[in-house]
Amino acid sequence: MKALRKFLDKQKPHFQPGGKFEKLQSTFEGFESFLFVSNTVTHSGAHIRDAIDMKRTMIFVVIGVIPTLLFGMWNVGYQHFLSFGQHPDILTNFLYGLGKVLPIIIVSYGVGLGIEFLFAQIRHHEINEGYLVTGILIPLIVPPEIPLWELAIAVAFAVIFGKEVFGGTGMNVFNPALTARAFLFFAYPGNMSGEKVWIADKLDSFSGATPLGQALVGNFHNFPTPHEMFFGFIPGSVGETSTFLILIGALFLLITGIASWRIMLSVFAGGLVMGLLFNLWGANQYMELPAWEHMIMGGFAFGAVFMATDPVTSAQTAKGKYYYGFLIGMMAILIRVFNPAYPEGMMLAILLMNVFAPLIDHIVVKSNIKKRLKRAKLMLAE
Amino acid sequence: MSTEKTEREAIFSPKNIKLLTGPLNMSNPITVQILGICSALAVTVKMKPAIVMALALMVVTAFSNLVISFLRNGIPPRIRIIVQLVVVATLVILVDQLLKAFVFDVSKQLSVYVGLIITNCIIMGRLEAFAMANKPWPAFLDGIGNGMGYGLILIIVAFFRELLGSGTLLGFQVIPQSLYNAGYVNNGMMILPPMALITIGVIIWVQRYYNRSLIEK
């Protein structure tokens, strides 16, 4: 450790303004603060001094998704062998999935971080930790068979047009991971939807439809049991299948105070209310699906826990968070049931509400000002 | 100023040349004046319609500029918009009929957007800003210049959208079949209008990067 510190200290002058590699300063700082905790802290002013910084926030989210990631790897293998009617042991399943998912993670981080470093370099600012989370979320929300070159383009698109053009981490309007998924979905629909893509190298005769895909065409025989859907033994995007492990991740994020419970709660509430409304309507079999089953299908839980709660793109006010989450939940179920082109509505619902989040905040703040003014006037009148 | 007026200006004086070249870059109607975006999104899926659209618009801007410039001292200011619209509408109908007669399939693809040239902001903008206050020849050149500036952006956008969205250029297959066999897929998003907007955004980005004076404060 000491030798490393010494080495860095020795190299530092070269990267300071005036040094040999002054152009690479932000790259150097990026590596330095990755290896060692930055010791530049606030010296003056009324700041709360806390150990929680952006790096820790990000790392906590990454820890939160680790259970679903590991399970997702196992499930990729499990689904693959299941399509051939085989039931190998856990390790074989996991290793098969690892072989499929690891390249996706590597491409996601390689391309994304490469572009982040490039922009930090050109714009002479420090490298932000923002991509650490995005980079792990992207592999979790794509099908296991996604061609890597398509993924690379989508990641580049998401980082450049979803984030960097707005000014980098913390300034983006849209959730970058969902931007990447939306890009893939619209640009390469053949590899992002349908029955063929959700199981890696499946036997052709085996139907690989997700529960959502089945429900949309009204095919309710052979429908997975709630137990299977809750624990995640169903085909789907890598990390979205197991609601159980997502909830464990959610618990971790809530205990550490990283994610907003208001948003999570209201997303589920919104989804349930919409589901119940459809149950009352009951025009077709999909509408009659029990509302709570919507919560454990597709990416609903994953979106609610890890995507909607993104602190940058969600509403900031406490009241606004309720509206924001509730509308996401309602919209997601609405799109699922009504729009045959989009079997999963969660992605589009969150992206849509990302756009409206600032407006929700604006309305909440304005109405609060109005309310207080009214009170002040009443007091004056007395 | 008074002596300048009496002198006969050369047909292609530096000032007039600037009218032609300015809109290509520093005063581009789409990327700098932000006019005519709507049609730029709609007709740029393929290059052929984009080129035809650009030519149609150039003809209309040039000749409407010319006609309005001739009439500029006789038009009562209060009804000038109506007079301008009559001139533009006449020219657009002429162009529309010509397109239908000679390139019917492209005319079909352009559909309403030929007719909508009437409402294209570039034309009204140039008539108001330039033709109403300048002599016919510079006005004509200004029309040609702005038409070219519009066309340039249209063709750049259409080039990327057709190449990446359909793998063709002007209808010819450019991306080889072997690449498709290797797993390449056309980008379906390039065909959708949002990608046209993003492409124009990128052009604006690149242009501002090289011409710092264009960056808004």
For residue A304, what pLDDT is reported?
92
Evaluate whether B149 touches B18 at the Cβ level (below 8 Å): no
Q: Are A187 and B187 an interchain contact pair (Cβ–Cβ within 8 Å)?
A: yes
Residues of B in contact with A156 (CB under 8 A): none
Q: Are A187 and B190 an interchain contact pair (Cβ–Cβ within 8 Å)?
A: yes
Instruction: State the pLDDT confidence band at A137, using cuts at 50, 70 and 90.
Output: very high
For residue A129, what pLDDT is reported?
73
Average confidence score pLDDT of chain B: 86
Over range A92-115, report the average pLDDT: 92
For residue B175, what pLDDT is reported?
85
Over range A298-314, report the average pLDDT: 90
Residues of A in contact with B188 (CB under 8 A): 186-189
What is the Cα–Cα distance from B68 to A325, expressed in whole angstroms? 56
As a whole number of Å, the CA-based R_g of chain B is 19
What number is the ipTM of this complex?
0.82
Q: Are B189 and A161 an interchain contact pair (Cβ–Cβ within 8 Å)?
A: no
Residues above pLDDT 90, as percent of chain A: 38
Residues of A in contact with B198 (CB under 8 A): 161
A187 touches chain B (CB under 8 A): yes
A170 touches chain B (CB under 8 A): no
Residue that wins the pLDDT comparison between A33 and A229: A229
Q: Are A188 and B188 an interchain contact pair (Cβ–Cβ within 8 Å)?
A: yes
A203 touches chain B (CB under 8 A): no
Phi, psi angle pair for B43, to nearest 5°: -105, 15
Residue B33's nearest CA partner among B13, B61, B5, B52 is B61
Evaluate whether A101 touches A76 at the Cβ level (below 8 Å): yes
Chain B residue whose CA is closest to A153 = B187
Residue A210's nearest CA partner among A336, A375, A73 is A336
B148-186 pLDDT, tens digit per residue, is: 999 999 999 999 999 998 888 888 888 888 888 888 888
Instruction: State the pLDDT confidence band at A302, using cuts at 50, 70 and 90.
Output: very high
Q: Are B198 and A183 an interchain contact pair (Cβ–Cβ within 8 Å)?
A: no
Chain A residue whose CA is closest to B191 = A187
Q: Which residues contact A182 (CB under 8 A, 6 or more apart)?
A: A347, A348, A351
Q: Are A186 and B192 an interchain contact pair (Cβ–Cβ within 8 Å)?
A: yes
Residue B4 pLDDT > 60? no
Residue B83 pLDDT > 80? yes
Chain B residue whose CA is closest to A148 = B183
Residue A181 pLDDT > 70? yes
Residues of A in contact with B193 (CB under 8 A): none
For residue A328, what pLDDT is reported?
94
For residue A51, what pLDDT is reported?
64
Residue B2 pLDDT > 50? no
Burial class (CB in 10 A: 0-12, 13-18, 19+), B92: buried
The secondary structure of A16-66, three-state, reads CCCCCCHHHHHHHHHHHHHHCCCCCCCCCCCCCCCCCCHHHHHHHHHHHHH
Residue that wins the pLDDT comparison between B216 and A146: A146
Three-state DSSP class for A312?
coil
CB pairs under 8 A between A and B: 22
A150-165 pLDDT, tens digit per residue, is: 999 999 999 999 888 8
B38-67 pLDDT, tens digit per residue, is: 888 888 888 988 999 899 999 999 999 999
Instruction: State the pLDDT confidence band at B214, using cuts at 50, 70 and 90.
Output: confident
Residue A268 pLDDT > 50? yes
Residues of B in contact with A191 (CB under 8 A): 185
Residue A271's nearest CA partner among A320, A357, A331, A225 is A331
Q: Are A165 and B198 an interchain contact pair (Cβ–Cβ within 8 Å)?
A: no
Residue A194 pLDDT > 80? no
Residues of A in contact with B187 (CB under 8 A): 153, 187-188
A221-247 pLDDT, tens digit per residue, is: 778 888 888 888 888 888 888 899 999
For residue B45, what pLDDT is reported?
87
Among A183, A186, A190, the residue with its CB nearest the CB of B185 is A190
- Which of B180, B187, B200, B208 to mutate: most A Cβ within 10 Å? B187
Q: What's at A174, amino acid-wise?
A: F
For residue A52, what pLDDT is reported?
67
What is the Cα–Cα distance from A146 to A292, expressed in whole angstroms? 30
What is the Cα–Cα distance from A364 to A319, expressed in whole angstroms? 7
Q: Which residues of B touch A (CB under 8 A)?
A: 183, 185, 187-190, 192, 198, 201, 205
Residues of A in contact with B183 (CB under 8 A): 147, 149
Residues of B in contact with A147 (CB under 8 A): 183, 185
Residue that wins the pLDDT comparison between A284 and A278: A278
Evaluate whether A15 touches A124 at the Cβ level (below 8 Å): no
Residue B3 pLDDT > 50? no
Q: How far is B165 from chain A (nearest CA, A)?
A: 9
Chain B residue whose CA is closest to A186 = B189
Dmax over CA atoms of chain B, in Å, equals: 70
B6-45 pLDDT, tens digit per residue, is: 556 677 788 888 888 888 878 888 888 888 888 888 888 8
For residue A39, what pLDDT is reported?
62
Residues of B in contact with A153 (CB under 8 A): 187
Evaluate whether A29 touches A127 at the Cβ level (below 8 Å): yes
What is the Cα–Cα distance from A141 to A235, expressed in whole angstroms? 12
Evaluate whether A59 touches A132 at the Cβ level (below 8 Å): yes
Residue A371 pLDDT > 60? yes
A222 touches chain B (CB under 8 A): no
Residue A308 pLDDT > 70? yes
Three-state DSSP class for B169?
strand
Residue B196 pLDDT > 50? yes
For chain A, what are the domain ranges? 14-37+54-258, 260-382
A322-367 pLDDT, tens digit per residue, is: 999 999 999 999 998 888 778 888 999 999 999 999 999 999 999 9
Could you give the C-alpha distances from B94 to B21, B100, B131, in angstroms and in order? 27, 10, 21
Top-ranked range on mean pLDDT: pick from A38-47, A79-88, A298-307, B115-124: A298-307
Residues in chain B: 217
Residue A126's nearest CA partner among A53, A187, A177, A68 is A53
Q: What residues form DSSP beta bridges with A194?
A: none
What is the Cα–Cα distance from A317 to A357, expressed in whole angstroms? 10
Evaluate whether A117 touches A102 at the Cβ level (below 8 Å): no
Residues in chain A: 382
Q: Are A161 and B198 an interchain contact pair (Cβ–Cβ within 8 Å)?
A: yes
As a whole number of Å, the CA-based R_g of chain A is 23
Residues of A in contact with B190 (CB under 8 A): 187
**Concatenated DSSP letters for B88-103?**
HHHHHHHHHHHHHHH-
Residue A124 pLDDT > 80? no
Evaluate whether B16 touches B141 at the Cβ level (below 8 Å): yes
Residue B103 pLDDT > 70? yes
Q: Which residues contact B180 (CB under 8 A, 6 or more apart)?
A: B167
Q: Are B189 and A147 an interchain contact pair (Cβ–Cβ within 8 Å)?
A: no
What is the Cα–Cα distance from B85 to B81, expressed in whole angstroms? 6
Q: Are A186 and B188 an interchain contact pair (Cβ–Cβ within 8 Å)?
A: yes
DSSP for residue A199: S
A167 touches chain B (CB under 8 A): no
Element (H, E) at B173: strand B172-173
Angle at A112 between CA A7 and CA A117, to 5 degrees: 40
Q: Are A147 and B183 an interchain contact pair (Cβ–Cβ within 8 Å)?
A: yes
What is the Cα–Cα distance from A266 to A328, expressed in whole angstroms? 9
A35-74 pLDDT, tens digit per residue, is: 666 666 666 766 666 666 777 788 888 999 999 999 999 9
Residue that wins the pLDDT comparison between B57 and A3: B57
For residue B123, what pLDDT is reported?
87
What is the Cα–Cα distance from A254 to A325, expressed in whole angstroms? 16
What is the Cα–Cα distance from B26 to A244, expressed in whole angstroms? 58
